[in-house]
Structure formats: structure tokens, C-alpha cells
A and B are shown apart, each in its own frame.
Chain A
């Protein structure tokens, strides 16, 4: 069982370049989300999806696009990279029963370290 797979693990971009961070899960989870983590700021929610074809903005959506064409995949696109987007990005997936239930089935990917120069 692969869980949540994120790629790439490390990436260096030049300002203005575009790229896509890939996230895939094989647990048939409805909920998927993207977070960024900066020093001293914890994880901040960028975008999330509650099912195929449904996405919504989180706390810090500017500069990022997402789509959810399948249950398994939730890519995060940087349209024109900026140095302020240098961060560690985490993808997470879960099922609705985790909220209000035992809450122990939120899975995180291993993270993607992105540097924009």
C-alpha cells in the first residue's frame, strides 16, 4: 500500500517558471489537500478537494491552481513561480469519517522542498 505519493521531493525553479507538484493516493480517499510549511508558521492550507471535480481555496491560495479530475490525483500548479513560494509542500488525504470519528486516518505525503531563485 503506497499511501500518499508526492513528487518531486526537491526542486529548484527560476522566478517566473511554472511547474506542477504531483500528489497521488491509492486509498480511495475523498478528501485531499495541499499545505505549505514555512519556518515558524506551521502548515497553511493552500487548496483542498472533497471529491473528484470539487476544489476550494484554503488560507493561502494565491499563485497556485489545483484540479481534481480523478479521486487518486490532486496536482498543485505554480503558474509563475516567485521567491515567496520557496517552501516545503505537503499533500494530505483522508476520508470524511476521520472528522468526528477516530481521526487517525489523515495521511501525509513525504513533502516536496521547493526553492525559487
Chain B
């Protein structure tokens, strides 16, 4: 079966750096997404990795190691508005089609 694990909750201080980890055991891996979701809203796209390495986009960076089934999302210079859930999602290629499977999400609370 497919399995995606990430911590349930994390807390951090405004201005600090936080790393949210995601491990996956899947078949037919075809890329990994990170989404941000504020309470009561739809997920919004943050990053996408399909090759090993680091992708940087402003205050957000995402890393992928396909051999280890591991990714992390790095948030720098944390702001109060970064308090949200962060969803790791794996794109799986199976039967000729792609499907997106999500982890349970990590709730991040940023404190002053």
C-alpha cells in the first residue's frame, strides 16, 4: 500500500526557521508536492520536486531524496501568517495515469 508520514503538529517562534519532514513508501513515484492550507480554506500550492535536491522559492524551500523516500519543507523568517497546515502529497503513476495522494498534514503554530 501507499504510506505518507509527517508529524502531526509543530510549534515555532516568529522569525525562526522550521523544517517539516515527510517520508513516503509508495510505488510509481512521479513527484512530490507541498501545499499550505489555512483553516477553512482550500490547499494552495507551495512547491514541487521530481528530482533529488533542493528547490528554493523565497522563504520556502523543499528538498527531495528519492532513494530515501524523504522530503522536507523549510520555512525561513517565520511570520504569524505561516500558521497553517502543511500537506505533503505524492504523485503516483499507476495504470497509465497519475494520482495525487496526501499525507495527513502537519499543523504549524507560529508564536510571537
Query: A residues near B, CB below 8 A?
Result: 31, 33, 35, 40-45, 48, 50, 56, 58-59, 90, 92, 96, 99-100, 102-104, 106, 108-111
On whether the beta carbons of B100 and A33 are closer than 8 Å, the reply is: yes
Task: Tell me the complex Cα distance, A48–B94, Å.
Answer: 13
Question: A50: which of B43, B87, B97, B103 is its contact (CB, 8 Å)?
Answer: B97
Q: Is the CB of B101 within 8 A of A109?
A: no
Interface size of B by Cβ–Cβ distance < 8 Å? 26
- Pick from B40, B42, B87: contact of A42, CB below 8 A: B87
**Contact residue among B8, B91, B102 (Cβ-Cβ distance under 8 Å from A44):** B102
The answer to whether B105 touches A100 (Cβ under 8 A) is no
Residues of B within 8 A of A58 (CB): 99
Is A99 in contact with B93, judged by CB distance below 8 angstroms?
A: yes
Kindly report which residue of chain B lies nearest to residue A111, judged by CB atoms.
B42
Are B100 and A108 neighbours in the complex by a CB distance under 8 Å? no
> Min CB distance, B24 to chain A, in Å?
13
The 8 tightest CB contacts between A and B, nearest first, are A103-B48, A108-B42, A42-B104, A99-B98, A43-B102, A42-B102, A42-B105, A50-B97
* Chain B stretch 80-112: residues in CB contact (< 8 A) with chain A: 87, 89, 91, 93, 95, 97-105
B97 touches A103 (CB 8 A): no
